[in-house]
């Protein structure tokens, strides 16, 4: 029997919905609240041990079928210069440990639908357009008041509400705030057929990578740009920034992408920010997971993976511990070093890019970290 009977999960994104599935499978009734009614986003890479976590949640096969597999030997992480000359082949290595699953790229809205369906099928209740206005932690339960005026009592509160977590702000007053990493991120879904020579391209103005999502019939484009200040672009500004970046390339693949870029293209531009909450990540009956506890830049492509692993480990800890305090301590011990590797390595990669370090140096740092992440979570 789990040490709690019910849980409130604040945040219906990747971390929160994964936690709902994991905890439900452990015998905990879960209510999930999410302030947004829309499932937005672009693409998400899921590699390494997260394939096993997805399998444990029961969603790997459906994610694979609706996503883009990256088989060993795939050159999607190849590194090219502005003319398309190969700087590093970046061939994905085989994943040889027992139970290893093929990495996949997933369209985030579709992936969230898969997780939501799995959560509800496990007995969780998912409500959107709702927030928690107050949480009063008591000896018997945490009493929660919601924005629609309803109330509830819970044995466990899971703060999975992202890098801007209101749960963290209200209950973890001494926690650090997200820090700007010196680079901006852009995401663009370029509708149309696949483009040859996928991978990452570098020019003095910035770098970007792309790969094809067959089920969405679109090319996912991810851009990284240095910027002394954190900025918020309008769509018109984002279009001009991306157009100017593409104009600094002569590679044929980039010319194809440039032809698809129009002033009406929807481009998501955000600052790269980083956050690592010192242990412990819990107060009373509340624990933080995912970006609420450890947000990372995208340089390793492991932010989503760490959130999903968090959810699975939390479910395991709640199912096997003798008390809530023991479950929280076990969870934190298993997760702290692993997520620190991702957050700190990603920041190091960001700094190396800003210092114009050789691509080979960046790849060496990344591969060293991935050797650590190859260990079981």
- Residue 286 has φ and ψ, to the nearest 5°, of -110, 135
pLDDT of residue 3: 94
Does the pLDDT at position 92 exceed 70? no
pLDDT of residue 60: 98
pLDDT in tens, 138-186: 889 999 999 999 999 999 999 999 999 999 999 999 999 999 999 999 9
Q: According to CATH, what is the number of the domain 6-70+98-177+274-356?
A: 3.50.50.60
CA-CA distance, 233 to 226, in Å (whole number)?
Answer: 14
pLDDT of residue 94: 64
Does the pLDDT at position 37 exceed 90? no
CA-CA distance, 195 to 256, in Å (whole number)?
Answer: 7
pLDDT of residue 293: 98
- Residue 40, classified by CB atoms within 10 Å of its CB into exposed (0-12), middle (13-18) or buried (19+), is exposed
CA-CA distance, 87 to 36, in Å (whole number)?
Answer: 42
pLDDT of residue 93: 65
pLDDT of residue 267: 96
Confidence of residue 129 (pLDDT cuts 50, 70, 90): very high
pLDDT of residue 34: 97
Query: b/e map of 335-368 (b: 16 or more CB within 10 Å)?
Result: bbebbebbbebbbbbbebbeeeeebeebbebbee
Mean pLDDT of the chain: 95
Sheet holding 142-146, edge to edge: 132-137, 142-146, 151-154
Does the pLDDT at position 9 exceed 70? yes
CA-CA distance, 243 to 275, in Å (whole number)?
Answer: 31
pTM assigned to the model = 0.96
Q: What is the mean pLDDT of residues 355-370?
A: 91
CA atoms within 13 A on the CB side of 230: 9
DSSP assignment string, 122-174 = TT-EEEES--EEEEEE-SS-EEEEETTS-EEEESEEEE---TT-HHHHHH-TT
Does the pLDDT at position 73 exceed 90? no
* Residue found by looking up tokens 């298993």 in the block: 334
Instruction: Please report, for the chain, the start and end positions of each structural domain, with discontinuous segments joined by +.
Output: 6-70+98-177+274-356
């Amino acid at each position: 029997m789990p040490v709690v009977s019910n849980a409130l999960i604040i945040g219906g994104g990747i971390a929160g919905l994964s936690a709902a599935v994991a905890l439900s499978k452990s015998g905990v009734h879960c209510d999930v609240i999410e302030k947004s009614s829309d499932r937005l986003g672009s693409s998400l890479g899921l590699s390494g041990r997260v394939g096993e976590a997805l399998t444990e949640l029961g969603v790997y096969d459906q994610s694979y079928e609706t996503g883009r597999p990256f088989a060993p030997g795939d050159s999607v992480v190849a590194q090219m210069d502005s003319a398309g000359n190969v700087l590093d082949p970046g061939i994905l290595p085989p994943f040889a440990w027992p139970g290893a699953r093929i990495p996949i790229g997933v369209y985030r809205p579709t992936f969230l639908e898969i997780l939501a369906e799995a959560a509800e099928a496990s007995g969780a209740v998912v409500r959107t357009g709702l927030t928690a206005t107050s949480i009063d932690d008591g000896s018997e339960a945490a009493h929660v008041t919601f924005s629609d005026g309803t109330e509830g009592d819970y044995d466990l509160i899971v703060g999975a509400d992202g890098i801007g977590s209101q749960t963290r702000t209200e209950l973890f007053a001494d926690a650090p705030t997200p820090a700007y990493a010196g680079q901006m991120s852009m995401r663009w879904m370029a509708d149309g057929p696949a483009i040859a020579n996928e991978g990452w391209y570098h020019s003095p103005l910035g770098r970007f990578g792309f790969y094809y999502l067959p089920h969405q019939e679109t090319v996912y484009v991810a851009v990284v740009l240095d910027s002394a200040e954190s900025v918020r672009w309008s769509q018109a500004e984002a279009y001009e920034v991306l157009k100017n970046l593409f104009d600094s390339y002569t590679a044929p693949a980039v010319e194809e992408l440039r032809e698809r870029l129009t002033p009406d293209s929807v481009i998501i531009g955000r600052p790269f920010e980083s956050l690592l909450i010192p242990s412990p990540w819990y107060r009373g009956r509340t624990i933080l997971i995912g970006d609420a506890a450890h947000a990372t830049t995208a340089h390793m492509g492991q932010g989503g993976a760490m959130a999903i692993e968090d959810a699975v480990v939390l479910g395991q800890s709640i199912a096997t511990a003798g008390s809530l305090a023991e479950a929280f301590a076990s969870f934190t011990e298993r997760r702290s070093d692993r997520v620190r590797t991702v957050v700190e390595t990603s920041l190091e990669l960001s700094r190396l890019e800003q210092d114009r370090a050789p691509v080979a140096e960046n790849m060496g740092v990344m591969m060293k970290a991935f050797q650590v992440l190859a260990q079981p979570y």
